[in-house]
Amino acid sequence: MSFSDTFQENDQKKMKQMEAYRSDDDGQALTTDNALKLTSTDDSLKAGERGPTLLEDFHFREKITHFDHERIPERVVHARGFGAHGYFELYESMSEYTKADFLQVPGSKTPVFVRFSTVVGSRGSADTVRDVRGFATKFYTESGNYDIVGNNIPIFFIQDAIKFPDLIHAVKPEPNNEIPQATTAHDTFWDFVVNAPETAHMVMWAMSDRAIPKSFRMMEGFGVNTFRLINAQDKARFVKFHWKPLLGVHSLMRDEAQKLSGKDPDYHRRDIWDAIEQGNYPEYEFGVQMIEEDQEFDFDFDLLDPTKLWPEELIPVKIIGKMTLNKNVDNFFAETEQVAFCPANIVPGIDFSNDPLLQGRLFSYEDTQLTRLGGPNFREIPINRPVAPVHNNQRDGMHRMAIHPGPVSYFPNSLAQNSPSPVPEEEGGFAHYAQRIDGHAVRARSESFRDHFSQATLFWNSMSAAEKEHIVDAFHFEVGSVKDVNLKQRVVDMFASVAPELAVQIAAGIGAKPPAQAVPKSTQASSPALSQENTIKTARTRKVAILLESGFCTVSVRNMLAELKAAGAVGETVSSSLSEISGKDGTPLKPDKDLTTSGALLYDAVYVPGGSDHVNVLKQNHNARSFINEALHHAKTIGASDEGAELLQATDAAAFLPDLRDAQAAPQIFQGVVVVNGGSTLQPFCTAFVDQLAMHRHWSRAN
């Protein structure tokens, strides 16, 4: 077997293991759980056709009993999530830094399972709410399962795990009436914030566009906590982990996200499911930031403080591999719901730091599975099984699957020649990093954790004008939803320590007083890596609606569809109904979507081709006009050729577009609106449209 064959196999290893558990019911007889074939499942066994049901109806009892017990407790946080399979491929050997086996051989592949999630909402809540997103990855390595249980924001609200229950109680729906669902826009959350100033930096991220991602495919992932990489010589370095999406980091707008919660509460899961089904596999590069142990105190932040990031300009992210998600789950419950992540799942070559948030997490995750998955054998559930062999003396418990023959289940033993026996480090045994620890037992926090504002200010300083506007708007909505007037004022006063101009704008929005004291900013520094303006921009996988009624210009539509396809984007035809229409040359067309079930919220851009009959019908249709208006207000790309521009003139776009009758055969671009007159069949128009589409949004005209 060649080198590459081995890796091919490796990549498939988890899927092959899962295969053994898949139940294929196709063409099979219906049976009970005991494999008894059934003649009917429509009627219970009764004493006469109109008589009472008989207790001896074991089929009825089994069916109902199973149904009665179908639900398990949802995750206490991150309840709503969506998972996919894939693989990680290493670009370059990391042997200088770590002995982790999956980071040694360039080109090697490791199977992974990823679960994305929101934090606050319950299982049935909407995808697009303002929230942190979980980004948890399980690597099924040859040395055991390794989990990076990260988020899409590189820092956290609190510095010590002991405050986590308080934070989560404050942010979840209020306990007296269980209102509001899946949002931070309520009194208890902001009450916690103003009483715990360590939250300042994370709140800035949570109020930014990062908290309303456009897609799971377009958000970064961060390990957040500081870990260690350990090489074969036992040299350790501090490390932070990063996932960087190849489609760039992009977000929704607040108004758009809120409307999407109603239009399509499954927006994010549908997006990633469809992308994988269509072969548009989400890809994320994997990077590490490393700091030598002897440089631990060289920075103006503490490496162990989880409310601090390591600015990428100061400590560059070294890209070492790529993850590709290429398979949807077969069964949501079996895989996505039952997967159990834990930051304590590490492999030789990786170790922990003393970050007090991480230390608490190491306990919490295994513990919570006991309630959620009903006992200590959850690691035997197919999705949680390592591909590496498991041997130990753990026995019994609810739902035990493994059958261990023989009388020995202890160590040391002579009866089984000490099997299974520990192995030395050289043979793959895990040895904890021999960190020197010396200290008094104190319930205290390090002085080096006291600066709560300078990185919050760094974040604000790094934002583009549009991003700043969005942050102010988010504060306006969130704090504007708080009932307690005193609390609102305290938010303004707290964020004056981040940036006085921010506090003034928050105050104006929520009817509070400007901050009593103008605190000078603690830093003028900025970090360009923090702004989404500097991200990758591409038209790949973007969705474009082409609005059509009978009489549209067939050639223009054909050209646009071809151009979109060439750019890796997706064009969909949208009409007032799903009934067949025809182009002005008579070509029949069955629209992909209709204006009632669809809408601008579900697309990145809209194109209106020429054809006077078709445009005259569109102009009369309220849904078509709102389609344009919505795309306009959400700063999306809009294209119109020939008579198509008349539809724009019938919308809010008219206010800033010049008279389109004067438009030239060369494309003209007005803040992301591309129009052409007489040149719709020409390449430059389509190219200009796709270039604008790749820009994601045109913030200058957003309102």
- Binding residues for heme are 75, 115, 164, 361, 365, 372
Q: Is 402 exposed, middle or buried (0-12, 13-18, 19+ CB in 10 A)?
A: exposed
Q: Is 516 exposed, middle or buried (0-12, 13-18, 19+ CB in 10 A)?
A: exposed
* 320 three-state secondary structure: strand
- Structure tokens given for 264: 């399509």
Closest CB to ligand HDE among 134 and 599? 134
Q: Give, rounded to a whole angstrom, the gap between the first and last alpha carbons of the chain.
A: 61
Alpha-carbon span 533 to 470, nearest angstrom: 13
Which residues are catalytic, by number? 78, 151
The answer for residues whose C-beta is within 8 angstroms of residue 669's C-beta and 6 or more apart is: 688, 692
Measure Cα distances from 657 to 513, 636, 668 in Å: 39, 15, 10
- Give ∠ CA 42-48-53 in degrees, rounded to 5: 55
Task: Please provide the DSSP assignment of 94-161 as one string.
Answer: -TTT---GGGTSTT-EEEEEEEEEESSS-TTS-TTSSS-EEEEEEEEETTEEEEEEEESSSS-S-SSG
Number of residue whose CB is nearest ligand HDE: 134
Q: Count CB atoms within 10 A of the CB of residue 358.
A: 21
- Give ∠ CA 496-498-501 in degrees, rounded to 5: 55
Alpha-carbon span 288 to 303, nearest angstrom: 14
Task: Show binding-site residues.
Answer: 75, 115, 164, 361, 365, 372
Q: How far is the CB of 308 from ligand HDE (least distance, A)?
A: 13
Q: How far is the CB of 307 from ligand HDE (least distance, A)?
A: 10
The answer for residues whose C-beta is within 8 angstroms of residue 631's C-beta and 6 or more apart is: 600, 603, 605, 606, 637, 638
Alpha-carbon span 675 to 657, nearest angstrom: 10
Closest CB to ligand HDE among 135 and 495? 135
Closest CB to ligand HDE among 117 and 455? 117
- Summarize the chain as % helix, strand, coil (round to 5): 35, 15, 50
Q: Which residue has the tokens 């040359």?
A: 585
Task: Please provide the DSSP assignment of 531-555 as one string.
Answer: -GGGS----TT-EEEEE--TTB-HH
Cβ atoms of residues 244 and 284 within 8 Å: yes
| H helical segments located in 288-418 | 332, 356-373
Residue type (1 letter), 185: A
- Structure tokens given for 144: 């055991």
Q: Which residue has the tokens 């021999």?
A: 434
Cβ atoms of residues 645 and 660 within 8 Å: yes
b/e sequence 20-43, b meaning 16+ C-beta within 10 Å? eeeeeeeeeeeeeeeeeeeeeeee
At residue 9, φ and ψ (nearest 5 deg) are -65, -40
Alpha-carbon span 106 to 102, nearest angstrom: 9
Q: How far is the CB of 88 from ligand HDE (least distance, A)?
A: 17
Sheet holding 570-575, edge to edge: 593-594, 570-575, 543-547, 605-608, 637-641, 673-676, 668-670
Closest CB to ligand HDE among 126 and 499? 126
Alpha-carbon span 570 to 170, nearest angstrom: 42
| Residues paired with residue 136 on neighbouring β-strands, in sequence order | 115, 149
Q: Point out which residues bind ligand HDE (CB under 6 A).
A: 75-78, 81, 115, 117, 134, 136, 149-151, 156, 161, 164, 224-225, 339-341, 357, 360-361, 364-365, 368
DSSP single-letter state for residue 327: E
The interaxial angle of helices 554-566 and 683-694, nearest 10 deg, is 50
Measure Cα distances from 153 to 135, 193, 518 in Å: 10, 17, 29
| Residues paired with residue 675 on neighbouring β-strands, in sequence order | 640, 668
